[in-house]
Structure 1
Amino acid sequence: MTTTVAPRPHAGYKSAARGRFAQAANLRTGEKFLSPGRIVAIVALVVMAFAWLLPFLWAVVTSFKSETSAAATPVSWFPKDGFNVDAYTNVLREGNIPLWTWNSLLTATAITLLTLVVSSLAAYALARIDFRGRRWLFWLIIASIIVPPPVLIVPLFYEMLTLNLVDTYWAIILPQLVAPAMVFVLMKFFQQVPIELEDAARIDGAGRLRVFWSIVLPLSRPILAAVGIFVFIAAWNNFLWPFIITSDASLMTLPVGLQTVKSAYGLQYAQTMASAVLAALPLIVVFLFFQRQIIRGFSTTGFGGQ
């Protein structure tokens, strides 16, 4: 009977256990987490995170104040008369929150899905197909990124008016499908997909669309998820275009509808903050669930240093 003896480690080798925290921090074996550089980076990140969260925390605290306390000077985090939910009660009672939320969810989801289809096809054509005018089209897309959206409101409104689409869901959705920045991001990702995989599929008889659907898209799930989340957030937060193109209360999105909930006594700070918190809650939930996809997607496009 033969007995196998495992080789002993070298005398100078010291094993170090790698726990979940070390793996999450991407530490090498034996590397210390609390090095001076990491401490400075952590402190800077904590300060920036607090500076970013402070306005949101102030909005949440103000939304639970009475209107008297919210407008009182000097301002205070803790009102003398305590906290209450009157602002939320007034917003929910005076506005049609469920309908407006449904309209925002419907339009934002449709915009996200259709934008992914249009942008991914355009990005793949720019990344892989050598056609006449490709370079000029690429520079046109890059130039359109710097065009401010309000500049296009008047021609877009006349276009929707000509097509008889004013006060419809399509009027909200169609003008938001063009996303030059997302085309650029997807194109950069598609250029990093190994061309050998596509060549092998074409040798087996696959066409362009087949290669795109069966090879490129499955490898692009991280960036598609990241782009989809950013498009959804932008569509959900869009106030100006839905406000201009819709006058029917049954078609209002949540940001537009919440602005119609006003009091006869002028500006109500607590009620305004309650409206802002209600509009932001769905986006916070979406980000908490998909934050890993956002980081993973953009870390593999060339913008994350890879």
Structure 2
Amino acid sequence: MLGLIATTATVLAAVICAFPLYWGLITTFKPEDQIVRPGVQLWPEHFTFQNYIHVLTTTKIGVWYVNSLVTSAAVTVIVVGISAGAGYAISQLNFPGRRIFWGLILASFMVPIPALIVTHFVLMSQFHWINTWAGVIAPQLIAPITVIIYKQFFDSVPKDFREAAAIDGANEFQLLFRIYLPMNWGITAALAIITFIAAWNLFLWPFVAVTTDDMMNITVGITQVHDAFGVSYGRDLAVAMLAALPVAIVYLVFQRQVTQAIMLSAGIKG
């Protein structure tokens, strides 16, 4: 009986969570007069692809996709690379100021990134990086949670592996790339996927750092879909669905790794 109740509650919760997505998707296939018509219409009377055709032919969505792909991929590669190196150094190396650096990383984890947006904008402006890929990428490289996760897992690697490799003449880079990282490829993949998704979905900073259509990310570009006679809900939802499509595909393909990364982040925060 309890199992039936739990299953029913789970299905009900899933339906409630999925309904807005279904409603948005099905609305993109409706003519505008059906969308604004009073009442609830769960299925279009007449299917149309005009909203998608309009977005694909009259907007710069292709350019926005490229900008998002380049910046998100760059953020992912740089964040994972820097975090792996920093986590290894703090975990395995003894150097002056090690505890201070670790304390700064932990402290930066407590500062919300939006609180630094004015500072970021001033710095990017001084570097002349406004309306550039570098200006979008640089502030996103602050990822203390990734360093913390790597450090925790490197701490758990048995010292025997390090000592054996050191006796064979391995240097620190060889230790990191041939021993420590191969033992944590699952963690690296999970962190890379969730970093990419977060960078792709980011809106606030790209919105502030970019003012020209040709440099906008997809999340910012969707705000530029206008209609001469006001809001066009079908077109707005169509471009929103196209913007979310790559992330949805990544999540569906790498669902286990994404879930693992979320659990790791939640465990660190807890």
| TM-score using structure 2 length | 0.89
Number of aligned residues: 268
Q: Residue by residue, what CA displacement relative to the aligned partner does 1:182-240 show, whole Å, maximum 9, x if unpaired? A: 22222222222222211211121212222111101111110111100111011111122
Alignment equivalent of 1:289, drawn from 233, 244, 253: 253
Is 1:96 aligned with 2:43? no
Work out which of the residue numbers 36, 46, 55 in structure 2 matches 1:71: 36
Alignment partner for residue 205 of structure 1, among 162, 169, 174?
169
Given that 1:224 and 1:297 are in contact with CA atoms closer than 8 Å, whether structure 2 keeps it comes out as no
How do 1:121-136 residues align onto structure 2 when only pairs under 5 Å count? 121-136=85-100
Contact 1:65 1:270 in 2 (8 A): yes
Q: Which has the higher helix share?
A: 2
Letter in structure 2 aligned against 1:219: M
Cα distance between partner residues in 1 of 2:212 and 2:56: 19
Partners of 1:44 and 1:124 in 2: how far apart?
44
TM-score relative to the length of structure 1: 0.79
Asked if the contact 1:64–1:83 (Cα under 8 Å) also holds between the matched residues in 2, the reply is: yes
Does 2:101 match 1:112? no
What amino acid sits opposite 1:195 in the alignment?
K
> What's the counterpart of residue 57 of structure 1?
22
Structure 2 vs 1, CA of residues 150 and 289 (structure 1 numbering), >3 Å: closer, same or farther?
A: same
The one-letter code sitting in structure 1 at the alignment partner of 2:68 is S
Query: Structure 2 CA distance, aligned partners of 1:251 and 1:96?
Result: 10
Pick closer, same or farther for the CA change 1:162–1:300 going to 2, 3 Å.
Answer: closer
How many Å apart are 1:298 and its aligned residue? 6.5
Unaligned runs of 5+ residues in structure 2 are none
**Paired position in structure 1 for 2:198:** 234
Secondary structure at 1:165's aligned position in 2? Answer: coil
- CA contact 2:77–2:192 (8 Å) conserved in 1: yes
Partner of 1:264: 228
Alignment of 1:1-16 (within 5 A): none
State percent identity of aligned pairs: 37
One-letter code aligned to 2:32: E
Distance 2:173 2:8 in 1: 49
Instruction: Give CA deviations for 1:101-123 in whole Å, capped at 9, x if unaligned.
Output: 11111111111001111111111
Query: Aligned match of 2:208 in 244, 247, 266?
Result: 244
Aligned to 2:183: 219
Shift of 1:78: 2.3
Larger-gyration structure (1/2) = 1
Q: Is the 8 A contact 1:222 1:297 kept in 2?
A: no
Match of 1:280 in 2: 244
1:175 to 139, 147, 152: 139
Query: Secondary structure of the equivalent of 1:74?
Result: coil
- The residue identity in structure 2 corresponding to 1:263 is D
Q: Give the conservation status (yes or no) of the 8 Å contact 2:203–2:219.
A: yes
Describe the shift of the 1:60–1:121 C-alpha distance in structure 2 as closer, same or farther (beyond 3 A): same
